[in-house]
Amino acid sequence: MRVASLAVALYDYLETVPTAYKFYKEHWEYRRFTISVILFAAIRIVSVSTLTVSNVGFFYNKFTMETCARFYLLPPIFKVLQSMVSQGILGVRFNGSRRFIKEDHGSMLTYAMLYDGLGYLLVLTGVNILNLLLYKESPEIQTAGSSLAYCVSWIMSQRLLIHLYDASRERNEGSYIEAVTISQNVNTARDVSRVVRARFDRKQSIPFDPSRPAFEVEPTNPNHHNVVFPEDLGVQILVVVSLLSFAAVVGLLFAIALSAWNTRHSTDRFLFVRTNAAAYFISLMVCWLIQSIGSIMDSHWLKDNDIVPGSFCTAQGALKHVADVGVAVWTFAMAANTFYLLFLELDTKRYTMWIALVVGWLFIGIMVGAGPAYAHSKSQKPFYGVNGVWCWISQEHKVQLITMGYLIIFLSAFLSGILYLMTFFRLRGNLVRSGWKLKWRSVNDSADRYFSSDRTKLVAKQMLLYPLAYAILVTPVAITRIIAWSGIKVPFEATVFSASVYLLSGFVNVILFTTTRRILPLSSIRIGNLYLVPSSRPSLDPAGP
């Protein structure tokens, strides 16, 4: 079954190469990469990676128990990414159906949407039923069914875009042929021919895309923002990404709470839930939870395709502001705590954690409260208002937008990155500290030996990953903002991409936490005698006393 799924996937990939080439070439010529072509490329790349990782783990016979224990988590992670791209493609199809079915009842485009949608549902349902039937079989047969599911998800999702693209292009060209409006004065047949040729000149056109509107309505009120297509699709993508992060963060916080409760009588002082890093990490996760809620609120604007100032807009802006500042603060706190432990080799006291928590949350409160207070005292304009396709700090307060928003985010990412690099080179032995002086050497002298026996510092080393992830995931936002500040218009697709990557940070943090060893005792993640990780259930020895 695995070989069959790989053969079908390879055949479909080769069959669609000409279509993919035409798709990419048409968009490359005009340097305009729309949502549909990004999703088309993403589903191909992610699906190939998913099938490769899944089958390498099965056919490669040189895995050790240690490498296998780390590698087995990769296929589910890639499957989640594939599902996210697939849901984005379904969003493109849904938005296209809303606009075309009513006005083009019975057209090729309508039938393409209907049959492809039904096919997607029926085929994937059939594969899922097959996987259920294989559930009680051997592990080899179970995983073979999952490989088939990866293949089918790829093919059906890709076909949705290809068929929608072809049908939409035919409809678009047909509508142009049926109705041509000439707004120039023409006297001869030659003039008519010249005008029509100019109207359809390839050099003056742009690649047609089903995720792009034929026209957009400009907002009549500067305080409102009409969410027009493809902006509503972009908002839906952000909502889906936020829901994914929300579910992941809630699940992780629940697991940490269970572990803390079930180990409350333990005398082990090195448990993660009793370290200073745990307090900062939980604060970070709470901020990502708030960020997810604020972004999920975008779904409210999709109902009327309009973002308007008001109490709901203010609430969303405040929540997102709290989350943005909070994530920056606690990411830097984690980086500073790790730097203190591993670079300076100093032990942090318990009271420093409480001071950091109070100061951190107080700073967040001041940043969030000072903005509206300033706006109320200096002007009558609300501090939180429409900003793009969501509510945040209003564009009318540009100084506060930078100093109380972007500056804090980028400064935290920059400083956390510096602390990470210094700590990383210290652990490698490249940076040697002598008092307050630093020396560089190219030979790794196994500096890691200082920390191998202290579990608190082991946890701190693992916490290094989170500031690094934050610095990487905030980079696309920084790039788009710098481009916008330079006066260059940023494509809407780039804005959605950078925002999606940033909103995925909560999900990425959960993945990092769950794939890092020795963080939470698996046996402590249980409800009574119900172990949420079955492999952690203690075995009963019948020969025992």
Residue 147: name the closest of 302, 303, 7 by CA. 7
Lowest-confidence pick of 101-110, 146-155, 435-444: 101-110
φ, ψ of residue 441 to 5 degrees: the values are -140, 150
What whole-number distance in Å separates Cα of residue 467 and Cα of residue 472?
9
Dump pLDDT digits (tens) for 104-134.
444 454 455 555 555 556 666 666 676 666 6
In terms of pLDDT, which residue wins out, 367 or 9?
Answer: 367
| Share above pLDDT 70 across residues of the chain, in percent, rounded to a whole number | 64
Q: Which residue has the tokens 């107080």?
A: 362
**Rg, the chain, Cα only:** 27
Contact 50, 81 (CB under 8 A): yes
What whole-number distance in Å separates Cα of residue 526 and Cα of residue 532?
5
Tokens of 504: 């995925």
What whole-number distance in Å separates Cα of residue 309 and Cα of residue 393?
12
**Could you state, in order of their start, the residue ranges of all structural domains in the chain?**
2-178, 225-529
Q: Residues with Cβ < 8 Å from 108, sequence gap 6 or more?
A: 167, 170, 171
pLDDT at residue 484 tops 50: yes
pLDDT of residue 509: 87
Residue 70: name the closest of 57, 79, 59, 58 by CA. 57
Out of 1.20.1070.10, 1.10.150.20, 1.10.357.10, 3.40.710.10, select the CATH number for domain 225-529: 1.20.1070.10
Mean model confidence pLDDT for the chain? 73
Q: Residues with Cβ < 8 Å from 263, sequence gap 6 or more?
A: 271, 273, 521, 524
* Range picked from 58-67, 76-85, 191-200, 350-359 for highest mean pLDDT: 350-359
pLDDT at residue 195 tops 50: no
pLDDT at residue 87 tops 90: no
Q: Residues with Cβ < 8 Å from 419, sequence gap 6 or more?
A: 335, 336, 338, 339, 343, 467
Helix, strand, coil shares of the chain, percent, nearest 5, are: 70, 5, 25
Q: Spell out the SS3 assignment of 230-273.
A: CHHHHHHHHHHHHHHHHHHHHHHHHHHHHHHHHCCCCCCCCCHH
What band does 143 get if pLDDT is binned at 50, 70 and 90?
A: low
pLDDT of residue 488: 82
Q: Strand 384-387 and strand 526-527: pairing?
A: unpaired
Contact 323, 270 (CB under 8 A): no
Q: Spell out the SS3 assignment of 480-492.
A: HHHHHHCCCCCCH
Q: Strand 526-527 and strand 437-440: pairing?
A: unpaired
- Report residue 384 CA to chain centroid gap: 25
pLDDT of residue 366: 92
Lowest-confidence pick of 75-79, 122-126, 246-250, 432-436: 122-126
Q: Residues with Cβ < 8 Å from 421, sequence gap 6 or more?
A: none
What band does 203 get if pLDDT is binned at 50, 70 and 90?
A: very low
pLDDT of residue 114: 52
Dump pLDDT digits (tens) for 297-349.
888 877 777 778 888 888 999 999 999 999 999 999 988 888 888 787 777 78
Dump pLDDT digits (tens) for 409-426.
889 988 988 888 888 777
In terms of pLDDT, which residue wins out, 174 or 124?
Answer: 124
Contact 254, 246 (CB under 8 A): no
pLDDT at residue 282 tops 80: yes
Tell me what the mean pLDDT of segment 211-217 comes to.
35
Look at residue 469 and give its three-state secondary structure. Answer: helix
Contact 390, 307 (CB under 8 A): yes
